[in-house]
Amino acid sequence: MTTLLASLLVFLLLMELLVAGILLARRFLRPRGPFKLTINDTREVVLDESDTLMNHLYAQGVFIPSSCGGRGTCGLCRVRVEAPRQPCTPVEEDHLTPAQRAAGFRLACQVKVQSDLAIRVPDEILDAREREARVVSNILVAPGITHLVLAVPEDFTFHAGQYVQLRIPDPDGAAGVFRAYSIASDPAVRGTLELAVKLVPGGLGSPWLHARRPGDVLSFTGPYGEWRLEPDPAVGLLLVGGGVGLTPLRAILHEAATRCPDKPVHFFFGARSQDDLFWTDRLDALAARLPRGSATYALSHEPEGSSWSGARGFVHEAVDAAWEPEGPVQVFLCGPPPMIDALRPILDERGVEPERVFTDAF
């Protein structure tokens, strides 16, 4: 009996020692608040505890974009940290260009607030509010892709290529999480947003959105995103979308057809098979409004000998085979990361300047 007790005692003592070690280390090593956070020189808040900058900003009602829940994978939560300057983490390096890093940009979800901090966010984000949207329709247009039409307040405006963030209920957290969805509809049309949502099995947001029915109400923030169409008709346009990456490109086609129909516009859409193509009638109609426009659909997994008469193979192969720039050009790429990686050398080869290439991977 004493042996047993003594063994347990020694064991517990060991554990206590470990815990004491951790507590001691924490006592002496962890920085403690309060910290002062200054946003755009105009807003000042005092924070009591050390947490990520992103969590603090959301708690303050500053809705910076974020679609990965702070895991450092979406790269959307960029803010400029003005003081103190800190080097960024390897996670952030993937999402920030050297110029952005030099200017002090960081990903808010990776910044721990451990001292006073002064940051700058675009003014429109400081003004961004959460708004309500009502589901008008929600219809499957291709396997796993739903076309979600939302009625939104008339005062909501956006640029082609921008996205909104929808608040998704989270079973683990009361506040819910946000997911980004690009706007596909015409920026000139007020009061309606069209989105396309691809089902990610096991995901939090997309299955929930697929289950929305007309009349349901959801809330969103935005618009976000720095894509801007160059209005100069002399600057050509190359749009390449893979799968659901088509969404922001449709909005850009709308804007080009309305504002600068004389632009040379080449639009490529990659999908697996004919079943996976969607919105082709609308896209064809848009291309028809652009006298110097073309629309190419490339199918990578269409069965041999099917009725398909268009391009076959991956969409980057179609671009490689059919596209030559006719002067200065602006490029928008949106689709899975391998598609974007495969397109970069093709663009380099044709002398497209990297700063003219806009990409979104999802």
Partner 1 sequence: MNPGDISPLTILIAAIFTNNILLSNYLGMCSFIALSRRLDTAVGMGLAVTFVSTFTTALNWVIYHRVLARGALSFLPGGLGDRIQLEIFALIVFIAVIAAFVQVVEMVLERFSPAMHQALGLFLPLITVNCAILGVALFMVIRGYGFFQAVAYGFGSGLGWLLAVLLMAGLRRRLRFSTVPRGLEGVGITLIVTGIMAMAFMAFAGMVRIQ
Binding region for partner 1 (CB under 8 A): 2-3, 6-7, 10-11, 14-15, 18-19, 21-22, 25-26, 29-31, 72, 86-91, 94, 112, 338
Helix (H, G, I), strand (E, B) or coil at 178: strand
The nearer residue to partner 1, 18 or 103, going by C-beta atoms, is 18
Q: How far apart are CA 129 and CA 63, in angstroms?
A: 8
Q: Report what 77 binds from ligand FAD, ligand FES, partner 1, none; CB cut-off 5-8 Å by kind.
A: ligand FES
Name the one range near ligand FES by CB under 6 A: 63-71, 216-224, 265-273, 294-302. 63-71
Give the other-Cβ count within 10 Å of 187's Cβ. 20
**Footprint of ligand FES on residues 65-94 (CB under 6 A)?**
66, 68, 70, 72-77
Taking contact as CB under 6 A, which single stretch among the options 135-143, 198-206, 258-266, 337-345 is the one that binds ligand FAD? 198-206
Burial of 242 (0-12, 13-18, 19+ CB in 10 A): buried
Please check whether residue 62 is in contact with residue 45, taking contact to mean a CB–CB distance below 8 angstroms: no
The answer to the question of residue 181 lying near ligand FAD (CB under 6 A) is: yes
Nearer to partner 1, 1 or 99 (CB): 1
Q: Which of 37, 113, 180, 299 binds ligand FAD (CB under 6 A)?
A: 180
Output the CA–CA distances (angstroms, integers) from residue 357 to 215, 266, 301, 311, in the order listed: 39, 14, 27, 24
Which does residue 180 touch among ligand FES, partner 1, ligand FAD, none (CB within 5 to 8 A, set by kind)?
A: ligand FAD
C-beta of 304 vs 324, nearer to partner 1: 304
Max CA-CA distance within the chain?
Answer: 94
Of 6 and 103, the one with the shorter C-beta distance to partner 1 is 6
x-or-dash pattern for ligand FAD, window 139-178, by CB under 6 A?
Answer: ------------------------x---------------
- Binding to ligand FAD by residue 360, rule CB under 6 A? yes
Query: Which residue type sits at 96?
Result: L
Closest CA to 256 of 244, 264, 245: 264
State how far the Cα of 312 lies from the Cα of 322, in Å rounded to an integer: 12
Per-residue x/- track, 74-103, ligand FAD (CB under 6 A): x-x---------------------------
Considering the complex, state which of residue 169 and residue 345 has its C-beta at the smaller distance from ligand FAD.
169
- Which long-range CB contacts under 8 A does 216-219 form with residues at least 24 apart? 216/134, 216/135, 217/132, 217/133, 217/134, 217/135, 218/132, 218/133, 218/135, 218/150, 218/166, 218/167, 219/130, 219/131, 219/132, 219/133, 219/166, 219/167
Q: Which is nearer to partner 1, 106 or 250 (CB)?
A: 106
| Of residues 252-291, those binding ligand FAD (CB under 6 A) | none
104, 200, 203 from 171: Cα distances, Å: 35, 17, 12
Strands (E), 101-254: 105-107, 117-120, 131-142, 145-151, 163-170, 173-182, 192-198, 217-224, 236-242
Q: Applying CB under 6 A, does 206 fall inside the site for ligand FAD?
A: yes
Nearer to ligand FAD, 91 or 204 (CB): 204
Nearest distance, CB of residue 179 and partner 1, angstroms: 21
Nearest distance, CB of residue 29 and partner 1, angstroms: 4
Interaction of residue 182 with ligand FAD, rule CB under 6 A: yes
Cβ closest to ligand FAD, residue 93 vs residue 226: 226
Burial 110-137 (b: 16+ CB within 10 A, else e): bbebeeebbbbbeeebbebeeeebebee
Q: Which is nearer to ligand FAD, 236 or 241 (CB)?
A: 241
Euclidean distance between CA atoms 32 and 40, whole angstroms? 24
What 8-state DSSP symbol labels residue 112?
Answer: B
Binding residues vs ligand FES (CB under 6 A):
66, 68, 70, 72-77, 107, 109
In the complex, the residues that contact ligand FAD under the rule CB under 6 A are: 67, 74, 76, 163, 179-182, 195-198, 200, 202-206, 244, 247, 360, 362
